[in-house]
Amino acid sequence: MSRNAAKMPVGATRALAARPFHRGIGYANCWEDARILQQALEPQPGHRILSIASGGCNSLALLASDPAEVVVVDMNLRQLQVLELKMAAIAHLDHEDKLALLGEGGEHRRLQLYRSVRPALSPDARQFFDDHPDILRTGLLGAGHLERYMLAFGRLLRLGLGRDFVHDFVRLEHPEEQARRFAAHWQGLAWRTLFRVFFSRTVLERAKDPAHFREVTGDALGDRLRARAEHILTALPMRENPYMRLILEGTFGEDESGLPFYLSKAAQPILASRLDRITPRHGTLVEALNAGPFDRFNLSNIFDWMPEGEVRAVHATLGTAATPGARLCWWNTLLTRRMPDLPDLEAMDDLAEHLLRKDRFIYANFRIGRFRQA
């Protein structure tokens, strides 16, 4: 990462970056649906894209659109190191070894595979993974704070429903059959209670960070998330849902349909040939916006973490960082963040609502904006 000047977060973000969730790997995966990200942004060849790193998955997936550059920013250096290891696996390993290194099978070979890609990492990334071989042995894809929390939820479900039932359920292709099995074997008091407790404010704040939910008002957070989960489990095909498959089984599965796009066999040669278009940047979103202009903005769920004053600072900078016709999108876990009040920016609420119904994870809100052409 030496070719990019690493700027540490400043101001209000510095305190957030120092919290435990952001000192380690917060996210080993992106939980924002890459499929609806592509449909929301419609990135075009030659675009310059700004993308929040998170687990790196969606920044890599955006390379499929043949952009000129994807600037990947995160205030947590560990997230950029996760991205580095994924890039090294895509560039230097075949498909099966790539999956094995990152956590899908091949447990006995992971340290050996790591040693083969280690020279491609920056010194800081090498030092981090050298110092944490447990992450490699266990598998990077399950190593984040959020992943450990979600995988624990999946283990409880397998315990209650039975491993065989869950195995069969996540391979269903028809929502009608999913809805039938859900109603017959799953839905009930135990399911509602589990969600209410496991996704209560108290447990969520322990699993992630109180700052993530500081702006969320009201209680019954588990019930609100459960409504989204039930829609996903009964209305969207499970077989092609990598997010639910990882939670419910602890793995993406043995077939291509369960893999996120950036890990698919078909995507590997395309992404490998464009990895040099990724520009990682350690710092704040405002700092990255100052390196504009950009044609597309993948803002992940970053506004979940920001106090209102900082959100306004980002909004003010967006207008100067966007090209005419630029698009932006973001998710919110539970709260709703308004579209920036900028004269040339229009909200695409109908499209956002349509895509949220197809979103394969339990985010409650999705926003898309488009800057008018000059």
Count CA atoms closer than 13 A to 17's CA, side-chain side.
18
Given CA atoms 135, 213, 155, 174 in this order, what sign does their dihedral have? negative
pLDDT of residue 25: 96
Whole-number pLDDT of residue 337: 81
Q: How confident is the model at residue 2, as a pLDDT? A: 34
Q: What is the pLDDT of residue 221?
A: 80
pLDDT of residue 289: 96
Coil, strand, or helix at residue 324? strand
Sites in the chain below the pLDDT cut of 50 = 1-10
pLDDT of 374 reads 72
- Report which secondary-structure segment, H or E, holds 195: helix 189-198
The predicted structure's pLDDT at residue 7: 40
- CA 225-230-232 angle, to 5 degrees, is 100
- The CA-CA-CA angle for residues 353, 175, 160, to 5°, reads 105
pLDDT at residue 135 in the model = 96
What tens digit of pLDDT does each residue of 82-127 get? 999 999 999 999 999 999 999 998 889 999 999 999 999 999 999 9
Residue 170 CB neighbours (<10 A):
22
Give the C-alpha separation, 299 to 337, whole Å: 12
Helix (H) or strand (E) holding 251: none
pLDDT of residue 218: 62
What's the whole-model pTM score?
A: 0.92
What are 66-86's pLDDT values in tens digits? Answer: 999 999 999 999 999 999 999
